[in-house]
Amino acid sequence: MGKVRKNKSVWGSRITNKTSYNFKKFGASIDVDKRLFREDIEASIVHVEMLCKQKIITLRIKNKIIWGLKKISNEIKKKKFHFNSRYEDIHMNIENRLFEIIGEDAGYLHTARSRNDQVITDFKLWLRKANKEIIKSLTTTIKIIINNSEKHVYTVMPGFTHLKNAQPISLAHYLLAYVEMFNRDKKRFQNNFLDLMENPLGVGAISGTSFNIDRNYTSKKLKFTKPTRNSIDTISDRDFVVDFLHASSLCSMHISRISEEFIIWNSEAFNLISLNDKIVTGSSIMPQKKNPDPLELIRGKTGAIYGNLFSMFTVLKGLPLSYFKDLQDDKKFVFDTFDQLKNSILVLNDVLKNVLFNKKEMKNLAEKGYITSTDFADYLVRELKNY
Ligand code: ARG
């Protein structure tokens, strides 16, 4: 290994001119991908354990690197780590700090590995947790809706088609329609696990490595079920990102629909629900107002979530194989979608816990608009068919 690379980029011996200030700022992703630090360190530890097991590095170097990585992890957790855009991304920030802590042996960490397989490994590990978190919040949503439904089996309301009174229904029946949607959402997030269970680590920059690595070992340690099969596809594949953004978009669409529903029901014109003061805001000029802002915000955020899906699709549509820098923004889309969706579900859960259904008004409305015409027609056909 060469000298300690103080303040030098990894490609410092090949590219000698200083990177332009504007490009450095533009190209750095550290502000976004620092969220991957846990996964990056976890995967790096498993990687060096494998290198040692395969006798590619010595036990002494393995222990030294793992010690350094754990120290870095603590520094980041305690907010004592200085993230530097000079080192572009989380992988290089950590590696550079490792050089500072343990010296030139840090270079062995990059043996038989490229940032190309490193970033996808981290990202898949992160997405597995994200999927689980969303599934957990949706389970809470479903529980709250079922709880509300149990109280309203006998609450009669008009079922609407075209927003016109159609047929009388039970409020529980109505609310449980959303349980079906959120269950399908959960299934979609669960399905995403299949692709998140294939281990990209070991495919290197594009064509694997000449070192005798053990991908089954890293798969097992990182709880992947098996290694990915084709290294070129592995490097360029972001289907698992699109899957997450798609599942999130659908889920967000469902949340937006129930929000819109409640916004309409909360209007004076409908007056079918009232919202607790905890989940409304007032107006700066009209003292009588109680506005359903949280629901409107959820509805609005769905646009940004769709936007992230289409941004990712658009980034991918013209990319030949395999890695291109365009792909770096995948994390921005996913983190933003995850944050927006997670918060939207949490706020929706608050709304669902703080909504009062106006039974009287539901019944009044159910008596309007000749809502039992179909039942009456059915009655006539059934009872008078022999006449
Ligand atoms: N920060 C990069 C990304 O997220 C890491 C991969 C870099 N690979 C490369 N060949 N430049 O995409």
Domain boundaries, the chain: 21-111, 123-200+230-377
Q: Which residues pair with 226 in a beta bridge?
A: 198
Q: What are phi and psi of 7, to 5 degrees?
A: 55, 30
pLDDT at 167 over 70: yes
**pLDDT tens for residues 28-75?**
999 999 999 999 999 999 999 999 999 999 999 999 999 999 999 999
- Give the model's pLDDT for residue 2: 44
Q: Give the rounded distance of the alpha carbon of 318 from its chain centre.
A: 24
How far separated are the first and last CA of the chain, in Å rounded? Answer: 100
Q: The whole model's pTM is what? A: 0.94
Percentage of the chain beyond pLDDT 90 is 83
**pLDDT tens for residues 233-278?**
999 999 999 999 999 999 999 999 999 999 999 999 999 999 987 8
| H or E segment and range at residue 226 | strand 226-227
Q: What is the rounded distance in angstroms from the CA atom of residue 197 to the CA atom of residue 86?
A: 33
**Maximum distance among all Cα pairs of the chain, rounded to whole angstroms:** 102
The set of residues, in sequence order, having a beta carbon less than 8 Å from that of 46 and lying 6+ positions away, is 201, 218, 221, 222
Token pair for 262: 């409640």
Token pair for 357: 């259904």
Query: For residue 205, which atom of ligand 1 is closest to its CA?
Result: 10
pLDDT at 129 over 80: yes
Q: Are strands 198-199 and 226-227 parallel, antiparallel or unpaired?
A: parallel
Count, residues in the chain = 387
Q: Which residues pair with 281 in a beta bridge?
A: 291
Q: What are phi and psi of 357, to 5 degrees?
A: -90, 130
pLDDT at 10 over 90: no
CA atoms within 13 A on the CB side of 202: 23
Identity of the amino acid at 241:
V
- Give the model's pLDDT for residue 8: 65
Q: Nearest-CA neighbor of 322 among 230, 206, 199, 218?
A: 206
User: If phi over 0 gives left and psi between -120 and 50 gives alpha, with beta otherwise, what is residue 174?
Assistant: alpha
pLDDT at 4 over 70: no
Q: Nearest-CA neighbor of 169 among 374, 381, 377, 351?
A: 374
**pLDDT tens for residues 299-308?**
999 999 999 9
Q: Residue 327: CB within 6 Å of ligand 1? A: yes
- Give the model's pLDDT for residue 155: 98
Q: Which residues pair with 202 in a beta bridge?
A: none
Pocket test for ligand 1, best of 234, 328, 335 (most atoms within 8 A of CB): 328
**pLDDT tens for residues 183-242?**
999 999 999 998 899 999 999 999 999 999 999 999 999 999 999 999 999 999 999 999
**pLDDT tens for residues 103-112?**
999 999 999 9
Separation of 88 CA from ligand 1 center, angstroms?
A: 9
Catalytic residues: 162, 283
Q: Are strands 355-357 and 273-275 parallel, antiparallel or unpaired?
A: antiparallel
* Cβ 124 vs Cβ 227: under 8 Å: no
Q: Which residues pair with 273 in a beta bridge?
A: 357
pLDDT at 1 over 50: no
Task: Look at residue 61 and give its three-state secondary structure.
Answer: helix
Please indicate whether residue 10 or residue 65 has the higher confidence score (pLDDT).
65
Please indicate whether residue 123 or residue 383 has the higher confidence score (pLDDT).
123
Separation of 167 CA from ligand 1 center, angstroms?
A: 57
Q: Is 291 exposed, middle or buried (0-12, 13-18, 19+ CB in 10 A)?
A: middle
Across the chain, mean pLDDT equals 94
Q: Residue 73: CB within 6 Å of ligand 1? A: no
Please determine, looking at this structure, whether the domain spanning 21-111 carries the CATH number 1.10.275.10: yes
Separation of 330 CA from ligand 1 center, angstroms?
A: 11
CATH number of 123-200+230-377: 1.20.200.10
